Structure 1
Amino acid sequence: MQKSSVASVEAPNANETNEETTRKGRGDRRELILDVASEVFLKEGYAAASMSEIAARLGGSKGTLYNYFKSKEELFGAYVLRNCEMHRSQVGELLKVDGDARTVLTAYARRYLEIFTSEKTLQNWRVISAESAKSPEIGRAFYESGPLQGVKLLAGFLDKAVGRGELKIGDTVQAAHQLISLIHGRMIKARLLNYIPVPSAEEIEVEVQSAIFVFLSAYGV
C-alpha cells in the first residue's frame, strides 16, 4: 500500500519555524523595550532619560538593549515613529469607512479630538517638541511621519468625496490642513498649556459640530 505524502507536504520546515519564532520573539522584545522607553521618556524627558535606567526597568543589561538600538537617539527616534503610527491608525482608519462626507468627517473629527486632548498624547507631544528644538531631524521625522501623513490620508478621503460630487474643493491637501486646524480650534492649545482639563464628550461634540459646519459651509455642494 502506497504511503500518503500529505504529512510530508504539510509538515513545516524546522529551520523556517525557528526563524519565524526568533523574528516574533525579537519583535515582541523590541515592543517591550519601546513600552518601557516611552514610560521613561515621559517621566524624565529625553535629556534626563538614560539607557541604564531603561535597561534596569527591563531587567536586563545595557548590552542587550544595544542589540536592538545602537543609541539613545535611535531609541528615541523609534519611539517617535511608533507614536505616529499608532495615532495614524487610530484616526486614519475612520477615513477608510464607506459613508457620506458629513458622517465620516464628523466621526474623524470626534476621534481626533478625543485622542489629541488626552493627557498621554499631550505628554508625548511635549517631550518630542522639546527635543525637536535641539534636534531638528527629530522634529522633521515626527512631522513627516505623523501630521503630514495624516493630512495626506484626509486629503485622499476628500478626493473621493469630490469625485462622488459631495464636496467642491480645488486643493484637497490645503482643505485637509484647514479642517484639521478647525478641529484643533481652541482646545488643543488650551490643553497643551494645561489651561483646561480633559474635555468631556459633550464639550468635544460642540467643537466637532462647529468645525464640520464651517468646513461644509465652505466646501459642501
Structure 2
Amino acid sequence: MDIKPRKDRDSRREAILDIAAELFLNEGFEATSMSTIAARVGGSKSTLYNYFKSKEEIFQAHVERYCNWQSEEMFHLLDDEGDDVSAALTRIGRRYVTNVMSDRNMRHFRLIVSAAERSPELGKAFYEAGPLRGARLLGGFLARMRDKGLIDAADPLSAAHQFIGLCQNRMLKSRLVGHSSEPTRQEVDAEVDAAVRTFVAAFAPRAAP
C-alpha cells in the first residue's frame, strides 16, 4: 500500500487516503464509491464527508500525495550538486526511470488517465503535481549549472523536459500497454547512461570564439 509516515496530524484523513488508494487501484475509479470507501474505513458516509466532499476530491488528494512522495524520493538527489553534471543527472535519471517504470506506477498512471477521461481536472491536477513539478525542480538544477558555466541551456525548463524524455521515451509506451515488463537494474542503467551522454553532448558549454 501507498503508506508513508504520518506527517499530517490528522491520521484519520491519511488512513482514508491509504484505503481509497487501494480501492482505486484494485477496483478502478468508476467502480469505487464513497459508500465502499466508508465501509472499508469502518465509519459512516457522513464521517467520510467530514473529510472529503466527493470521490473526486479523495482521488485528487491521493494523486497529489502520491506525486509528492515520488518527488521527495527522486529530486532530493539534486541537493548534493557538486560540479559534476553527469553524475547528478545519472543519479536522478536512474531513480526516475526505476520509479516511473515500476509496475505500481504504471497502474497509477493508467488509473489517472482513465479517470481524466471523465474528469479532466483530475488529469490536470496530476500533471501539475507530478510531471510538471518534477520538470521544474530539474529545471532549477539545470539553471544553476548553466549559471556556473557547466552547461549551455538557454531554457533550463525545456532542457529538463528533454532530459526526462530521453530517459523514459523508449520504454514508456511499451510499459503502458504491457508489452514489456518492469526494467531490470541493468536495463535502467543502460537507458539512463545513454540519455546522460546524449544530453551532456547536446548542452555542452560552447567554446569561446
TM-score w.r.t. length of structure 2 = 0.91
Moved over 2 A (4+): none
Contact 2:8 2:14 in 1 (8 A): no
Change (3 A) 1:156 1:136: same
Look up the equivalent residue of 1:115 and give its one-letter code: N
Give the equivalent residue in structure 2 for 1:107: 91
C-alpha displacement of 1:220: 2.0
Give the equivalent residue in structure 2 for 1:11: none
| Aligned 1:1-221 pairs, distance under 5 A | 27-99=10-82, 100-221=84-205
Give the equivalent residue in structure 1 for 2:4: none
Work out the CA distance in 1 between the residues paired with 2:50 and 2:31: 22
C-alpha displacement of 1:91: 1.2
Work out the CA distance in 2 between the residues paired with 1:80 and 1:88: 12
**Unpaired stretches in structure 1, ≥5 consecutive residues:** 1-23
C-alpha displacement of 1:211: 0.4
Spell out, residue by residue over 1:55-75, the C-alpha distance to the aligned partner (whole angstroms, 9 max, x if none).
Answer: 111122212111111111111
Larger radius of gyration: 1
**Unpaired stretches in structure 2, ≥5 consecutive residues:** 1-6
C-alpha displacement of 1:98: 2.4
Look up the equivalent residue of 2:45 and give its one-letter code: K
Query: SS of the counterpart of 1:185?
Result: helix
Deviation larger for 99-108 or 33-42: 99-108
C-alpha displacement of 1:177: 0.7
Spell out, residue by residue over 1:106-153, the C-alpha distance to the aligned partner (whole angstroms, 9 max, x if none).
Answer: 000000001001111111111111111221111111111111111110
Identical columns (%):
46
Work out the CA distance in 2 between the residues paired with 1:64 and 1:201: 44
TM-score w.r.t. length of structure 1 = 0.86
Q: CA RMSD in A?
A: 1.4
Count how many residue pairs are aligned between Structure 1 and Structure 2.
Answer: 198
Query: SS of the counterpart of 1:68?
Result: coil
Look up the equivalent residue of 2:16 and give its one-letter code: I
Contact 1:183 1:211 in 2 (8 A): yes
Query: SS of the counterpart of 1:186?
Result: helix
Spell out, residue by residue over 1:10-53, the C-alpha distance to the aligned partner (whole angstroms, 9 max, x if none).
Answer: xxxxxxxxxxxxxx886211111101000000011111001111
Look up the equivalent residue of 1:101 and give its one-letter code: V
Which one has a larger percent helix, Structure 1 or Structure 2? Answer: 1
Work out the CA distance in 1 between the residues paired with 2:107 and 2:118: 18
Give the equivalent residue in structure 1 for 2:3: none
Spell out, residue by residue over 1:152-202, the C-alpha distance to the aligned partner (whole angstroms, 9 max, x if none).
Answer: 101100011111121111111111110010011311221111111111100
Query: SS of the counterpart of 1:69?
Result: coil
